[in-house]
Chain A
Amino acid sequence: MSEKKLHEDQKYIDGLLQNNSFIIEAIYDKFVPKVINYIKQNSGDSDQAQDIIQDTLITIYNQASEKKLELTCPFDAYFFLLCKRKWLNELKKSSNKEVTIKEELLYKGEDAHELAFETDVFGEKEALFTEMFNKLGTACKDLLTATFKIKSMEEVAESLGVTYAYARKKKSLCIGKLTELVQESPKFNLLNK
């Protein structure tokens, strides 16, 4: 990954991560019109476009924040592809009709597609993990929330009124349970292919 050069548009990713309003507004001014156009030409409206764009930016933020995101292509192409994929998923979910997809060729490089694909998978995984986390029992949810918020297992143990050893063991078992839930989910197999 580090053999490829970082594109100057990395500044948009960094701007999102820093919650920099100027950069976010710039993204809207420069790159959003194309997406709105595409969605409107493909059975969507302004409100749906707004949601897709917001969700995409949040996914990009999450990936950049959790795993580092290194842009090696223009932000334009990457962002557009992501929004497009999200919109097509929406269409698949809501209608069984055949929809005419009006394609727009922007950037022929491999990078944009590869990065967009990675981010897309990341987004789907986040959604799956969140869904499975919410299926855990209250005890596990509370323990994991405490563990990752407080970080010191001793404090967590004290705050829950249990021994350090017990808290640690429970942490492993709760994440273990979560692992099983995720692995058993059909969505997981699709993502890992």
Chain B
Amino acid sequence: MIITDTHTHLYSDAFDADRNDMIHRAINQGVSRFFIPAIDSTYTESMLQLEQDFPEHVFLMAGLHPTHVKENYTEELNHVEEMLAKRKFYAVGEIGIDLYWDTSTLEIQKKAFKYQIQLAKKYKLPIVIHCREAFNEIFEILETEKDDDLFGVFHCFTGDLEQAHQAISYNMKLGIGGVATFKNGKIDQFLNQIELKHIVLETDSPYLAPAPYRGKRNESTYIIKVLEKLSHIYNVSLEDLASITTQNSKEVFSI
């Protein structure tokens, strides 16, 4: 089985003590492709180091996370632009809008999101969207940006069926992770109505560990639990699902 974790913060300090072991553990279980979302410039160095240590397995994204859009956001966006011009990245992410806690930065979050979508189109890259309590705002922006160059992943999708269809209409795949295994996660109720070609797998480690590891530090190996849940929902074997979702990830990230 070749399994792709399309969203994992392997550089997080939660993994400082055992990063190499953790990654090897995952690779041994078949999780051999890791797509790494950016947060802001303070993490760039550790991301590059990660790539150096695991060149065959690690694929980096460049971007400014919506919860890190603050007064200095223009500087941060410059950094993203510089990095994209300097070398190859596989996506622009994670970008988007987060209104769960701080609604005061909505305007600059929108600006940052739009700007980075332009960057993605320039380099013909997919975008990886982080959306929390902001479906309407994000859909509004995607509607204005809709064209042949707009595509990507709605990471950690937690909306309803209608929102799923809307996301798909913007050429977005749905990133499905631990939430699918939670008792009141809700998406397990309608996921079988979404065709498999729209699904990619993720862990969002170290956060949101799937059942039965919920509450503990998440790691890429645990993606197997998400696979098992989806296998049950779609009535498709684990191997087939791994193959299908990996193929879908190849389609989005072109690698």
Indicate if A touches B (C-beta under 8 A): yes
Q: A159-B100, A161-B102, A162-B101 are in contact. Are A151 and B215 (CB under 8 A)?
A: yes
Answer yes or no: A165 CB below 8 A from chain B CBs: no
Task: Report yes or no: A154 in contact with B98, Cβ–Cβ below 8 A.
Answer: no
**B215 touches which of A155, A158, A159 (Cβ 8 Å):** A155
Task: Report yes or no: B216 in contact with A160, Cβ–Cβ below 8 A.
Answer: no
Q: A151-B214, A151-B215, A152-B215 are in contact. Are A158 and B207 (CB under 8 A)?
A: yes
Q: How far is the CB of A80 from chain B (nearest CB, A)?
A: 36
Q: How far is the CA of A151 from the CA of B217 in the complex (A)?
A: 12
Interface residues of B in 184-200 (CB under 8 A from A): none
Which residues on the B side are within 8 Å of A152 (C-beta)?
209, 214-216
A interface secondary structure, majority: helix
Interface residues of B in 52-105 (CB under 8 A from A): 67, 98, 100-102
Q: How far is the CB of A34 from chain B (nearest CB, A)?
A: 38
Q: How far is the CB of A92 from chain B (nearest CB, A)?
A: 38
Q: How far is the CB of B164 from chain A (nearest CB, A)?
A: 20
Nearest opposing residue in chain B for A149, CB measure: B184
Interface residues of B in 143-161 (CB under 8 A from A): none
Task: Report yes or no: B67 in contact with A161, Cβ–Cβ below 8 A.
Answer: yes
Which residues on the A side are within 8 Å of B214 (C-beta)?
151-152
Task: Report yes or no: B215 in contact with A160, Cβ–Cβ below 8 A.
Answer: no
Q: How far is the CB of B96 from chain A (nearest CB, A)?
A: 12
Task: Report yes or no: B132 in contact with A159, Cβ–Cβ below 8 A.
Answer: yes
Nearest opposing residue in chain B for A157, CB measure: B207
The interface on chain B, measured as residues whose beta carbon lies within 8 A of the other chain's beta carbons, has a size of 15
Interface residues of A in 145-180 (CB under 8 A from B): 150-152, 154-155, 158-162
Which residues on the A side are within 8 Å of B14 (C-beta)?
154
Answer yes or no: B208 CB below 8 A from chain A CBs: yes
**A160 touches which of B101, B206, B209, B217 (Cβ 8 Å):** B101
Q: How far is the CB of B63 from chain A (nearest CB, A)?
A: 16
Task: Report yes or no: B207 in contact with A154, Cβ–Cβ below 8 A.
Answer: yes
Which residues on the B side are within 8 Å of A160 (C-beta)?
100-101
Scoring A142, A154, A160 by chain B CB atoms within 10 A of each residue's CB, the highest score goes to: A154
Q: A152-B214, A152-B215 are in contact. Are A161 and B98 (CB under 8 A)?
A: yes
Nearest opposing residue in chain B for A161, CB measure: B67
Which residues on the B side are within 8 Å of A162 (C-beta)?
101
Which residues on the B side are within 8 Å of A159 (C-beta)?
100, 132, 207
Which residues on the A side are within 8 Å of B216 (C-beta)?
152
Which residues on the B side are within 8 Å of A161 (C-beta)?
67, 98, 100-102
Chain A 17-40 per-residue mask, 1 if CB under 8 angstroms from chain B, else 0: 000000000000000000000000
Q: How far is the CA of A132 from the CA of B166 in the complex (A)?
A: 39
Q: How far is the CB of A155 from chain B (nearest CB, A)?
A: 5
Chain B 127-171 per-residue mask, 1 if CB under 8 angstroms from chain A, else 0: 000001000000000000000000000000000000000000000
Q: How far is the CA of A161 from the CA of B216 in the complex (A)?
A: 18
Q: How far is the CB of B128 from chain A (nearest CB, A)?
A: 16
Q: How far is the CA of A152 from the CA of B67 in the complex (A)?
A: 19
Chain B 1-26 per-residue mask, 1 if CB under 8 angstroms from chain A, else 0: 00000000000001000000000000
Q: How far is the CA of A158 from the CA of B217 in the complex (A)?
A: 12
Q: How far is the CA of A160 from the CA of B214 in the complex (A)?
A: 17
Which residues on the B side are within 8 Å of A158 (C-beta)?
207-208
Nearest opposing residue in chain B for A159, CB measure: B100
Q: How far is the CA of A162 from the CA of B68 in the complex (A)?
A: 10
Given contacts A154-B217, A155-B207, A161-B98, 10 further A-B contacts (CB under 8 A): A142-B100, A152-B215, A152-B216, A154-B14, A154-B206, A155-B215, A158-B207, A158-B208, A160-B100, A160-B101
5 contacts between A and B (CB under 8 A): A142-B100, A154-B14, A154-B206, A155-B208, A160-B101
Residues of B within 8 A of A (CB): 14, 67, 98, 100-102, 132, 206-209, 214-217
The 6 closest A-B pairs by CB, nearest first: A161-B67, A152-B215, A160-B101, A151-B215, A158-B207, A161-B101
